[in-house]
Amino acid sequence: MPVITSIADLKRLHRRRTPKMFYDYAESGSWTEQTFRENTTDFEQIRLRQRVAVDMTNRTLRTQMVGEDVAMPVALAPVGMTGMQAADGEIKAAKAAEAFGVPFTLSTMSICSIEDVAENTTKPFWFQLYVMKDEEFVDNLIERARAAGCSALVLTLDLQILGQRHKDLKNGLSAPPKPTPRTVADLAFRWRWGLEMLQTQRRTFRNIVGHAKNVGDVRSLMSWTAEQFDPKLDWEKVRRIKDKWGGKLILKGILDAEDAKKAVEVGADAIIVSNHGGRQLDGALSSIRVLPSVVRAVGDQIEVWVDGGIRSGQDVLKAVAMGAKGTMIGRSYIYGLGAMGQAGVTKSLEIIHKEMDISMAFCGKRDIKDVDRNILLIPEDFEGRWQA
């Protein structure tokens, strides 16, 4: 086993051990992938201010996200088909998050169901909702999340229609993978993944199969999914979902200050500045570039979080310094899951925690709640001069 010291190390192992179509699903964006790339590279433009001769003892990264105590300002983002990165992947990720003390978010498009995760964890997790045309199915999802004890609902707003995801189309992405000659050849080199997958019955979208109308197998699932995302999702429907849920509501996919203000108006508890990891509108700004304008617009009225491009504890620290009350990581923990299962998710969290802790100390801070923009050096034109 190689020595693992960074998220990049986990990414390399993930690529070796996971079938190509599922690695590409995680490690790709839409169309030209410009936004996908800039989510990461824009973090690199921000520098940290080193301070010396300061007391570095008794440091803490502990804080809260929507009133929940967290070991650091990080939650595991909802990622579709996590159970294809490793057998029972959602359960393994949820267990790792629970043990570490950070929230886990289960995707509507998960392999393990809401009930699967609830039966294998002891603390509440969050559930991410996609709004489908089948309102009865959506209502049922909300009720299932409530019955499972989910402590927050994460409503994704930026997937009313599917982005241009070229790699997924070329790979013939499906869960489980179709037995084409290319897929069979690829799996022959990932035999450990295959053996583990054979030991579980969780190999398709268990939140949907058996719950949506006329969806009882993979073939009916594919046709149902292709036409179900609701392009009519609007703020009034968001308000109705909030009322139906009745608990903490987090809105994911905000990339504009005006939309952030709308989120405040409908009574959301938190918003996530996000471009869906660069998998929806290619050519949109990176999340970290948009974050300051959203914080200025609504930051004192609602919790503002950010996701997209976070690959280190320094990235989390920079996001917090720019006004985010929390962050979500997707690919960073997926690399760990694909590389080493539950232990890999734990490793990714340990890496991010250590990097954040050490960097915060070098910046002269001992408590993550005291971190602000004064620890940063930001290019003068970082937010850009754009004409609208």
Q: Which helix (H) or strand (E) holds 20?
A: helix 20-26
Beta strand pairing status for 74-76 and 68-70? Answer: unpaired
364 is in an annotated binding site: no
The residues near 236 (Cβ < 8 Å, ≥ 6 apart) are none
DSSP category for residue 104: B
**Residue 51 assigned as binding residue:** no
Has 335 been labeled as part of a binding site? no
> Do 171 and 27 contact (CB within 8 A), yes or no?
no
Annotated binding-site residue? 309? yes
Within 8 A by CB and 6+ apart from 293, the residues are 257, 383
Tell whether residue 23 is among the known ligand binding residues: no
Q: Is 47 flagged in the annotation as binding?
A: no
Of the candidates 66, 384, 130, the one whose C-alpha atom is nearest the C-alpha of residue 280 is: 130
Is residue 79 marked as binding?
Answer: yes
Q: Is 107 annotated as a binding residue?
A: yes
Annotation-wise, does 103 bind a ligand? no
- Annotated ligand binding at 29? The verdict is no
**Residue 66 assigned as binding residue:** no
Distance CA 148, CA 165 (A): 32
Q: CA distances (Å), 33 to each of 3, 41, 329, in order? A: 31, 12, 19
Catalytic residue among 14, 211, 276, 353: 276
Long-range contacts of 164-168 (CB under 8 A, 24+ apart): 164/30, 164/31, 164/282, 165/28, 165/29, 165/30, 165/279, 166/28, 166/30, 166/31, 167/24, 167/25, 167/28, 168/21, 168/24, 168/25, 168/28
Has 330 been labeled as part of a binding site?
yes
Q: Is 156 annotated as a binding residue?
A: yes
Q: Is there a contact between 142 and 244 (Cβ–Cβ < 8 Å)?
A: yes
Task: Establish whether 50 is an annotated binding residue.
Answer: no
Structure-token pair, residue 212: 């949506």
Q: Is 274 annotated as a binding residue?
A: yes
CB 135 within 8 Å of CB 57: no
- Report whether 54 belongs to an annotated binding site: no
| Backbone φ/ψ region at 288: left (φ over 0), alpha (ψ -120 to 50), beta | alpha
Question: Active-site residue 166, yes or no?
Answer: no
CA distance 183 to 21: 8
Residue type, 352: I
Instruction: Determine the Cα–Cα distance for residues 108 and 131; give it in Å rounded to an integer.
Output: 9
What SS3 state is found at 128? strand
Structure tokens given for 260: 């952030």
220 is in an annotated binding site: no
The answer to whether the annotation marks 332 as part of a ligand binding site is: no
* 78 carries a ligand binding annotation: yes
Q: Is 252 marked as a binding-site residue?
A: yes
Please give the positions annotated as active site.
276
Annotated binding site: 25, 78-80, 107, 128, 130, 156, 165, 252, 274, 276, 279, 307-311, 330-331
Annotated binding site for FMN: 78-80, 107, 128, 130, 156, 252, 274, 307-311, 330-331
Annotated binding site for glyoxylate: 25, 165, 276, 279
